[in-house]
Amino acid sequence: MAENCLFCNIVAGAIPCQKAAETERILAFHDIHPQAPTHLLVIHKTHTASLSETEDATLLGELMTGVREVASEKGLTDYRLIINNGPQAGQTVFHLHAHILAGRPLHWPPG
């Protein structure tokens, strides 16, 4: 756990969230500023700052499996999966996380 990490503090229970799903290693919760009718964040409970900073294939696999399982549990068949990597890509919380966006047409290209 990184002491000053928002998501680590959510995992620790120090900051509340609206949980969507939870396992021993994965936590999914609703984004507080949703960009679609369904906007979930999926995180691994182990802190790693970004995609480019992790070399742990098991952690990455667990995160992607978590995304798939959360989407399935919520009945989502069409959704966009986003991982922002670094500040210029829009990453604002430096704890690796995936955004699941669904519930409206999502056009291409994004942003």
Per DSSP, the residues of 68-108 read HHHHHHTT-SS-EEE---SGGGT--S-S-EEEEEESS---S
Looking at residue 3, its pLDDT comes to 81
The helix/strand count (H/E) of the chain reads as 2, 5
What order of strands is seen across the sheet that includes strand 38-44?
19-22, 26-30, 38-44, 97-102, 80-82
In DSSP terms, 5 is beta-bridged to none
Known catalytic residues?
97
**What is the rounded (10 degree) CA torsion for 53, 1, 35, 77?**
80
pLDDT for position 110: 82
What pLDDT score was predicted for residue 1? 77
pLDDT of the chain along its 111 residues, tens only?
788 999 999 999 999 999 999 999 999 999 999 999 999 999 999 999 999 999 999 999 999 999 999 999 999 999 999 999 999 999 999 999 999 999 999 999 886
HSE toward the beta carbon, residue 8, CA cutoff 13 A: 11
Q: What is the pTM of this model?
A: 0.95
Dist CA 45 CA 22 (whole Å): 10
What residues does 30 pair with on adjacent strands?
Answer: 40
Q: Has domain 6-102 been given CATH number 3.40.50.970?
A: no
